Copies of this chain bind each other. A is one copy, B any other.
Amino acid sequence: MKKAMVYIQSGGPTAVINTSLYGAIKEARNHPDKISHIYGSRYGIEGLINDNLFDLNQESDEAIELLKQTPGAILGTTRYKLPRDLQAEVYEKILATIQKHNIGYVFVNGGNDSMDTCHMLSLLCQEKGVDCLVIGVPKTVDNDLAATDHSLGFPSAAKHVINTFQCIAIDAMSYKKGKVYVVEIMGRNAGWLSGSVDLLDDGVRPDLMYLPEKCFDLEQFIFDVQEAYNKKGYAIVAISEGINFARSNKKNVRLDSFNHAQLGGAAHDLCQIIEERLDLATRAIELSLMQRADPIYTSLVDQNEAIAVGTLAVQAALDGKTGVMVAIERDTTCCGEYKCNLRLKDIATIANAEAFVPHSMIKSKSAMDDEYRKYLRPLIEGEVQTIFENGILKRSKFKYLKVE
């Protein structure tokens, strides 16, 4: 019997979050014998709760093509956390939507919190005996998902961070006597993204880099900044937004529904301290949303893998799999050349787990280890083609026609 599929985007967007969706739609369209409808869930799991689905087959071919260069989560996303108790009212609503639209396949594209959503949904369907399969699609610029070599979106974010950092460093070099630049990079608990600037060559690489995996000592930081500045007349520092200074220093912290503190601002605070203590001119630079949203530095490897993962997710569901996530496994057998295989992994082992940068990959306060470099280098390879119209990047525009 034919069944409908629903695709859910969850958590923070990435440069390729819509590219996985592209892969899934393309593959789903190859199976009209098994998939009756291709639906998008409006605003993450909330679309399933509130019966707010829209028909992706109503969207134009051009809109689907442009998904590959459209930032943001085009279906709409959420940070809604499902309760632990499967008897909770919200699950009745979800089951009602599933039954109403004869949904047989649900895809959840997200990070570790969203994989919890995926996990709860698959438990729900199994416990209630509902014939609906649930598959996870990995995504997070933080790259802290367990059980996968890397997460979709991280390579492109890293490529943006590396190239943007290089611009800042070159701009800084233009002055004989410059400032102390503190560049704040995403990464709540994991410093995968901050470490990426280590790939830059001498002259544009950071003088100092601070990842959340290592304890941040303010006094040592101030000493090191002065030392770096003395050497060349300016200094450039990379910090993760989640270094423990950021946490302890925050005054009025806003929490999201996953109880995560809203970060950002550590660079500004550190710059203020440097100005006061060292009397040096500073510039705090947050790479902000651009590092996850920018489509122009998308890595070709990331784009290709996003399409492949979206495709396999649909194939896995049609193959009867559920409660699994499509993971990326690096093939280390090919000598030197980068190759990845896709594997299905049990979602229970992934949900809510976090993958940190191993201390062995952090060489010193100014360099990552070769092991990290080897890991990252192949991921940022290859540039993508982007389409502009009158100087402005073309984006996908959806009609969002609601399914009644």
Interface residues of A (CB under 8 A from B): 9, 13, 43, 46, 70-74, 76-78, 159, 162-164, 166-168, 170-176, 199-200, 203-204, 252, 254, 262, 264-265, 268, 275, 281, 283, 285-286, 288-290, 292-297, 299, 377, 380-383, 388, 390-393, 395, 397
Please measure, in the bound complex, the distance between the C-alpha atom of A264 and the C-alpha atom of B397, giving whole angstroms.
34
A167 near B43 (CB under 8 angstroms)?
A: no
Contact of A78 among B13, B176, B265, B382 (CB under 8 A): B176
The interface residues of chain B lying within 8 Å CB-to-CB of A204 are: 395
Contact of A281 among B70, B262, B285, B299 (CB under 8 A): B262
CB contact under 8 A between A163 and B73, given known A289-B168, A289-B283: no
Inter-chain contacts of A290 with B (CB < 8 A) = 164, 167-168, 285, 290
Chain B residues, CB < 8 A from A200: 392
A293 to B381, CA, bound (A): 22
A229 to chain B, nearest CB (A): 16
State the CA gap A292–B77 with chains docked (Å): 32
Asked if B171 and A292 make an inter-chain contact with CB atoms under 8 angstroms apart, the answer reads: yes
Q: Report the separation of the CA atoms of residues A255 and B167 in the bound assembly, to the nearest whole angstrom.
A: 24
A295–B167 CB distance below 8 A = yes
| 7 more CB-based (< 8 A) A-B contacts, given A76-B174, A162-B392 | A46-B176, A71-B167, A72-B171, A199-B392, A290-B290, A296-B297, A380-B392
Asked whether B393 lies within 8 Å of A174 as measured between CB atoms, the reply is no
In the complex, which of the residues B13, B167, B297, B390 contacts A289, with contact meaning CB atoms closer than 8 Å? B167
Q: Which of B71, B268, B391 contacts A382 (CB 8 A)?
A: B391
Q: How far is the CA of A389 from the CA of B356 in the complex (A)?
A: 28
* Complex-state Cα separation, A172 to B383, whole angstroms: 26
